[in-house]
A and B are shown apart, each in its own frame.
Chain A
């Protein structure tokens, strides 16, 4: 094999394995395999751990949501955290016992990161929930099988831990032709899949058949195994007899087991950059995943234990262990009789791609396929890096046909553009380049940090773009609102001026003729007035319609508010699913709010109606007599209300910004924000009240306009009567106004006391709502004062 052919990146036919054509991948290395030491004994079950630490994020996707509380007693296999959305997985208790904590705990992670974990203290009984066996699972639909796999919490067990059910459910439009089962295990040291294939081939094959069924029986189902596992190959070959499943064997070379590389070896196809394998009709699953899927479907076993290779010369026992998820690694090391003095590092995963751990106090997770405890002699610390001599060995080793030395060059000079044009993001971080580099340059480390930096920059840029957009939108909106307000104010002023003029004219006319029509019957006046009221019976209906319209617009606004909530959630698409639920909650609350609003409006309606019927006359008269004063007063009220609307809206917008920031940072903040939004909604309702008042004013204004022509009619007894009625009514009107104000004050005091209660509660809880609530209380107080003032004035 010449390097040139490899370099060209064209897959080449390397062998015809029985009925299958195999291809080769460019590059690759042959690190010492070190597999034999862990294959000397069969799979051993680790003792039940005294305590398990179950991280909520053991898979790719949204972290699970805990559904248990500290102090709860749980059984083995019991669901303790739910998957949060589509790309997420549930977590099950891996032992029976008591939940002792739900807290941050170090994870098995290169950076020693901590995250939320559920910690269970075992009661030693290992009492299990009843498992639902499904001997007839073959009759189930693909969808229900997928649901079972999802609910069993199965993540891809070979690598990153992508939820198996998601991978098995490719996007619509991708027809799957190849189901590839990865039994390659190309990393040195790891033998977990090897031994699983040797010992549990039946279940694996049943699992492969199951996966094939879920994917609609792809025409090519193949298990790929490297030729350094002769026993596993023999067993698997034996087991797949009489099934359509093939076993393909190919020469050992790292990283043949990389998903993209395996696809290339078995199909000759390459996954286009940035796409998923399903885009070329391929689904890859690990043998252990197939096994776990079968156990889950057939025996109802949730994913609570896995086989992990525990190996390294610091251990007296090197073997494959079946271990409960969440078992602290220190337990596992003790079980394999570690010699702490000799232990020089601790690696989770293989020596090529695994990561060094900071401590042994982290748990086994769903993706833990290997734990290496080497001595210093076995894995000496890497010598200091020399200068890159551009020998090109790295380029020859790279399975992705990249130019690692150029990437290294650009990574050092932080030339991100060049990095991307040299396809940094197609680097699979396999470590082959670092492995061969004669100058010991930690190339992969450079690539990782460069990738991180580029991603960070992109996120920041996106964020900046978004906030700029938001700012612009907001400016625009404020400007628009200003303009509208200004226009309305002008219109109102105009109307008021005209009305004043006309009223003055009318008054003058009425005074002139009042003496002449003194003896006119007041009864007549009343009948007249009544008649007029009757002719105006449509008015309450009109009012009602207007109020209904107000309700509608209020609803619209509410919807917008909820839309805004949704939008703010969309800015963090990866957390979408989590928020979806919360949005729903928010919607429920919003509907609630709407109902309340409706109630509020009905009551207003009712009161207007009653006042409309009981004292139509009065009102009419009042309208005519006091319209000016009333309007001015209402105008004032409305202006202040509108100001407060403006202010609140501005505040809301600002709060949104803050919220979005928080969204991006924390999930927990979401709930707080929702609560805040609720309080804001309450405030919003206050505003609606004001709006209703505004509407009232609007209905009054036409009435005023209607009333205007009357004084202009020829002066007769009727008009005199009207004038008298006006005078009389004005007294009553003032009365009714007082009543109204009193009513208003009553309502306000009630609300105020309620709000104060809430505030007190919030202060006690020390919740975030405090501020919003105290603001609301303040406002109510001001309103109340205004109302009282008005009452006094009246």
Chain B
């Protein structure tokens, strides 16, 4: 009788990492569909290219590092990074943008640091930020949502899209579909009263509570995020803290619509990458704080940084910067937010020396 010798526990729960990753991908589907609805086929092309690049790069690096390729590819983490990168990049961006993004995300930010679990920075955000700094033009060329396209504009069809992506498109075509995002529009506003601004810009005029198209994209990501919360893929701490602090800052600097007012909380919540960031980026467990208290601080700080950059910085959106900045701070937060262990009167900092005699 050959008995298995294994240490306890001998039974285990239903969750596994692969399933978690799959769930995350599943939860992006509403967002992807909404993006496609408003911005056309470009998002899909982004996703396909990003997935292909990310998996190829992951596989080759694993090969170079002499790790079992199949085993690690199966954990779906590279695919999650690809999806997040894919939805973050502007549709119809050139293929090499996606390639460079994937290279930095998987090759540098993830594998160079030792692979899954060891990366201090969120890979997708590293890829995104590198691109944003290096290729600002390509990276800010977002299409206008289909609902506000003027008569002369139309979203590219499949052939046009492919030719845009692979670089045989004429520049004329570009003007045929791009437009300012709500955050862009708000940022570029100089002197108009909010009401006037809203009236003058289609992107606000056609909107229900934030910016046309974008508000629904954010709603879709919010739904996906709530699904993940329901599935207990992560805890509520970081996303809620981020949204709360972002909303709080917006509330402070929102004066009801003068020409110096900041954007309203609703505009901040439902524009740009807010919901994507809150539920899919900052919840990346690897690069965030570990304890729940730590995650509250982590999320809260990200919300503040997002607001600061959006309001006073040079970039219209700031989720990627905020996340990377707080990735830096995560270990530091961890140091000071250890939970109080059973039988100890107070929580303690990880740096404290411990009196080993107390346990005997």
Residues of A within 8 A of B (CB): 2-4, 7-9, 26, 29, 31-32, 110, 188, 260, 264, 270-275, 340, 343-347, 349, 351-360, 372, 374, 379, 381-384, 386-393, 395-396, 399-403, 405-406, 417-418, 420-423, 425-426, 429, 431, 434-440, 442, 444-445, 448, 458
B9 interface residue per 8 A CB criterion? yes
Interface residues on chain B, number (Cβ under 8 Å):
59
Q: Interface SS of chain A: helix, strand, loop or mixed?
A: loop
Q: What mask results when residues 54 to 83 of chain B are scored 1 for a CB within 8 Å of chain A, else 0?
A: 000000000000000001000101000000
List 13 contacting pairs A-B, 8 Å CB cutoff, sorted by A.
A110-B7, A270-B343, A349-B8, A359-B1, A360-B1, A383-B16, A387-B118, A390-B288, A403-B290, A426-B359, A435-B13, A438-B16, A442-B7
B208 contacts A by Cβ under 8 Å: no
Interface residues of B in 283-297 (CB under 8 A from A): 285-286, 288, 290-293, 295-296
Q: Closest CB of chain B to A381's CB: distance in Å?
A: 6
Max chain B C-beta neighbours (<10 A), residue from A260, A423, A425:
A423
CB neighbors of A among B160-189 (8 A):
none
Is residue B115 contacting chain A, with contact meaning CB distance below 8 A?
yes
C-alpha spacing A436/B149, complex, angstroms: 49
CB <8 Å contact, B9 and A434: yes
Q: How far is the CA of A403 from the CA of B293 in the complex (A)?
A: 12
Complex alpha-carbon distance, A272 and B343, angstroms:
4
Interface residue from A32, A425, A435 paired with B9 (Cβ < 8 Å): A435
Which chain B positions have C-beta within 8 A of A260? Answer: 342-343
Partner pick for A7 among B10, B292, B356, CB 8 A cutoff: B292
B3 close to A387 (CB less than 8 A): no
Taking the complex as formed, is B133 at the interface, i.e. its CB lies under 8 A from any CB of chain A? no
Q: Which of A351, A439, A458 contacts B17 (CB 8 A)?
A: A439
Distance (Å) between the CB of B82 and the closest chain A CB? 16
A439 to B17, CA, bound (A): 5
Q: How far is the CA of A421 from the CA of B356 in the complex (A)?
A: 9
- Quick check: A264 and B3 within 8 Å, CB to CB? no
- Would B286 and A7 count as touching, CB distance under 8 A? no
* A417 to B344 CA separation, bound complex (whole angstroms): 18
B16: contacting residue among A32, A372, A396, A440, CB under 8 A: A440
Q: Kindly list chain A residues whose C-beta atoms are within 8 Å of the C-beta of B193.
A: none
Residues of chain B from 216 to 235 with CB closer than 8 A to chain A in the complex:
232-235
Residue on B with the closest CB to A110? B7
Contact yes or no, B343 A355, CB < 8 A: no
Q: How far is the CB of B251 from chain A (nearest CB, A)?
A: 23
Residues of B within 8 A of A442 (CB): 6-7
User: Interface on chain B toward A: helix, strand, loop, or mixed SS?
Assistant: loop
- With contacts A384-B71, A434-B12 taken as known, whether A356 is within 8 angstroms of B1 at the C-beta atoms is no
Given A273-B341, A420-B356, is A445 in contact with B7 using a C-beta cutoff of 8 Å?
Answer: yes
CA distance A386 to B16 in the complex (A): 9
Known: A396-B235, A439-B16. A359 touches B3 (CB 8 A): yes
Tell me the residues in window 114-130 of chain B with beta carbons closer than 8 Å to chain A beta carbons: 115-118
Q: Cβ of A273 and Cβ of B344 under 8 Å apart?
A: yes
Alpha-carbon distance between A352 and B11 when the two chains are bound, in angstroms: 7
B285–A344 CB distance below 8 A: no
A391 touching B234, Cβ below 8 Å = yes
Contact between chains at A188 and B358 (CB < 8 Å): no
Instruction: Give B356 Cβ to nearest chain A Cβ, in Å.
Output: 6
Is A273 a contact of B8 with CB atoms below 8 Å?
A: no
CB-CB under 8 A from B350, the residues of chain A are 418, 421-422
- Find chain B residues with CB under 8 A from A29 CB: 13
Report the nearest B residue to A11, measured CB to CB. B342
Indicate if the CB atoms of A351 and B338 lie closer than 8 Å: no
Interface positions of B from 80 to 131, Cβ below 8 Å from A: 115-118
Among B115, B342, B343, B352: residue with most chain A CB under 10 A: B342
CA–CA, A345 and B77, complex, Å: 33
Assuming A31-B13, A387-B116, A418-B350, is B77 touching A356 (CB within 8 A)? no
Q: State the CA gap A425–B354 with chains docked (Å).
A: 11
- B315 shortest CB reach to chain A, Å: 28
Given A9-B341, A386-B75, A389-B285: A354 touches B6 (CB 8 Å cut-off): no
Q: Does B52 contact A (CB under 8 A)?
A: no
Query: Quick check: A438 and B15 within 8 Å, CB to CB?
Result: yes
What 6 A-B pairs have minimum CB-CB distances, sorted nearest first? Answer: A431-B9, A273-B343, A387-B117, A345-B4, A274-B359, A400-B342
Closest residue of chain A to B292, judged by CB? A7
- Interchain CA distance A687-B33 in the complex, whole Å: 100
Q: Name the B residues within 8 Å of A389 (CB-CB).
A: 17, 20, 77, 116-117, 285-286
How far is A46 from B234 in the complex, measured between Cα atoms in Å? Answer: 49
Measured CB to CB, the closest approach of chain B to A620, in angstroms, equals: 68
Instruction: Write out the residue numbers on chain A whose beta carbons fall within 8 Å of the beta carbon of B11.
Output: 31-32, 188, 351-352, 379, 435
Q: Does B339 contact A (CB under 8 A)?
A: yes
Q: Which of A388, A403, A442 has the most CB of B within 10 A?
A: A403
When distances are taken between beta carbons in the complex, the residues of chain A under 8 Å from B1 are 340, 343, 359-360
Cβ–Cβ contact A392 & B342, under 8 A: no
Q: In chain A, what residue has the closest Cβ to B287?
A: A390
CA–CA, A438 to B116, complex, Å?
14
Q: A7–B339 contact, CB under 8 A?
A: yes
Q: Is the CB of B20 within 8 A of A438?
A: yes
Closest to B118 in A: A387
Residues of B123-165 at the interface with A, using a CB-CB cut-off of 8 Å, are none
Q: Which residues of B contact A386 (CB under 8 A)?
A: 16-18, 75, 116
Interface pair B341/A344, CB less than 8 Å apart: no
B233 (CB) vs chain A CBs: closest residue: A391
Q: B115 — which chain A residues lie within 8 A by C-beta?
A: 387
A392 near B235: Cβ-Cβ < 8 Å: yes
**B150 to nearest A CB, angstroms?**
46
Contacts of A274 in B (CB 8 A): 343, 358-360
A352→B9 contact, CB < 8 A: yes
B residues near A435, Cβ cutoff 8 Å: 9, 11-13
Contact B9 A345 (CB under 8 A): no
B340 interface neighbour in A31, A344, A379, A401, Cβ under 8 Å: A401
